Structure 1
Amino acid sequence: MSYETYKLIHLLGIFALMVALAGMAAHAAAGHTKGENSNYRTLLGLHGTGALLALTGGFGLLARLNIEAEGHFPGWIWAKLVLWVILGGLVAVPYRKKALARSLLFLLPLLGLVGAALANYKP
């Protein structure tokens, strides 16, 4: 596949993951429980699918950039992988720690900005 195709897959995954997290966080911040969210399983599926697409697209992009692992990825790739793990784990936060649900709504765009900066500047 082409670089552009992998980029679209990567971005689709990121958008899906962020929408799912924001939906759960907004619902929990409004004082609702997981049981009251009729779309909870849909959001979980969207989150998981988004995470998989983001990872698949990201590694496809690395292949197209001709970055050879040779046992060592550059630091910015490790940072993006850590960011991916954080975003994957945040799915547990909104309903378990409702006090953090509102904060998560502010944190998500910042995490997206960090990911974009890492991808663009490759520090």
Structure 2
Amino acid sequence: MERYAIYRLLHLGGMFAMFMGLGGIALHVANGGTKASNTARKLLASVHGAALFVILLGGFGMLARLKLVQGGGLPGWIYLKLAIWVIMGAMGTVMYRAPKVARWMLVLLPLLGMAAAWIAVSKPI
């Protein structure tokens, strides 16, 4: 299998796992659960954290295969994707600290995912 395809699979698999972890947290908190009452908290946090790492690994691996990370700076669209990655990384904590946000995350998370996909496909800047 081509290396680019492997990095792409890692990137996509990481996204699926991240959405699974964040969805689990959002559903738990939206139903009135707390951080202390979440029996799967450690599992969800581990899945979320590992997924964030795999997303970066796959993403930068693809960039290296495309020769976009050699030399000067990165293209602007990569910074947009990194900003979305940081937001997604903070979402687990935000939902526990502001439970009213959790219901909105069930709508916002897929929209952020679609925004990230659009940025990757269209490379606007």
Query: How is 1:94-109 mapped onto 2 (pairs within 5 angstroms)?
Result: 94-109=95-110
Amino acid at match of 1:28: V
For 1:56 and 1:68, the matched residues in 2 are separated by 13
Unaligned runs of 5+ in 2: none
Residue 67 of structure 1 corresponds to which residue in structure 2? 68
Change (3 A) 1:117 1:40: same
Q: How does 1:83-94 map to 2 (within 5 A)?
A: 83-94=84-95
TM-score of the aligned structures, taking structure 1 as reference length: 0.95
Written as runs of structure 1 = structure 2, the 5 A alignment for 1:20-99 is: 20-99=21-100
Hey, which bits of structure 1, 4+ residues long, moved more than 2 A?
68-71
SS at match of 1:34: coil
> Which segments of 5 or more consecutive residues in structure 1 lack a partner in the other structure?
none
For residue 72 of structure 1, report the CA deviation from its aligned partner.
1.3
1:69 and 1:100 map into 2 onto residues whose CA distance is: 40
The two structures have a TM-score, normalised by structure 2, of: 0.94
Q: Distance in 1 between matches of 2:118 and 2:65?
A: 19
1:39 partner letter: A
Which letter maps to 2:80? A
Task: Measure, in 1, the Cα distance between the counterparts of 2:98 and 2:72.
Answer: 38
- CA–CA distance in structure 2, aligned partners of residues 91 and 72 of structure 1: 30
Distance 1:70 1:37 in 2: 46
Report the secondary structure of 1:109's partner residue.
Answer: helix
Shift of 1:69: 4.2
